[in-house]
Amino acid sequence: MSVKLHVIHHDDHILVINKPGGLLSIPGKGPEKQDCVVARARSFFPDLPAQPAVHRLDLHTSGIMLLARTKHAHRHLVSQFQYRKVVKRYIAILDGSLAAEAGSIELAFRLDPENRPYQVLDPLNGKSGITLWHKLSEQNGRTRIEFTPLTGRTHQLRLHAAHDQGLGVPIVGDFLYGNGEDGDRMLLHSAFISFTHPGSSQTCEFTLEPPF
């Protein structure tokens, strides 16, 4: 894709990127999957460590993504994610209405190895995913919602939105769990992040409004 990578903030320790939807966070397997946030960031900041990504966003999710500029920063930030010290919030548009105004979802799920990357509920063998949510607005049969994930499982927000044991209303454009088609714009955006800066030990907060 030809969309320019936008750097929200950079210093000697971190990079904060506005990831466009449709761009991989990290490289995949094969030459056609080498274009990604990390590769593009490295073209501007060639001194990035071998593994600068401290988390990742789904291919079709847009918004704030955090990279480390040093090995020390990477260790520091990864530890914050592991111990749930990082606060993240996402904005999404759901393809339907919700009766409730707010709540929480906790479901255990895992990868379906015969249908990658699809995730399936599995209370016995799955890993628990926890999401807080509240409704922001509703218009024309669609709901604008804010998600605060307390865990970082693959496809967590998408599954929690779509599954009937979650909200039962998929994210607009989600072709895996909803009614979207491959190539549709999925309306899920990483809008806020808060963490401890690995250099200054100060709290850092970044907000980025969604493009929808």
Q: Which residues are marked as active site?
A: 58
Give me the long-range contacts of 67-71 (CB less than 8 A, separation at least 24).
Answer: 67/14, 67/15, 67/16, 67/17, 67/37, 67/38, 67/41, 68/13, 68/14, 68/15, 68/198, 69/10, 69/11, 69/12, 69/13, 69/14, 69/15, 69/45, 70/12, 70/13, 70/198
Q: Is 67 exposed, middle or buried (0-12, 13-18, 19+ CB in 10 A)?
A: buried
Helix (H) or strand (E) holding 78: helix 71-82
Residue with tokens 């009766």: 99
Distance CA(154)–CA(131), nearest Å, equals 13
Copy the structure tokens of residue 93.
Answer: 């548009």
Distance CA(191)–CA(10), nearest Å, equals 18
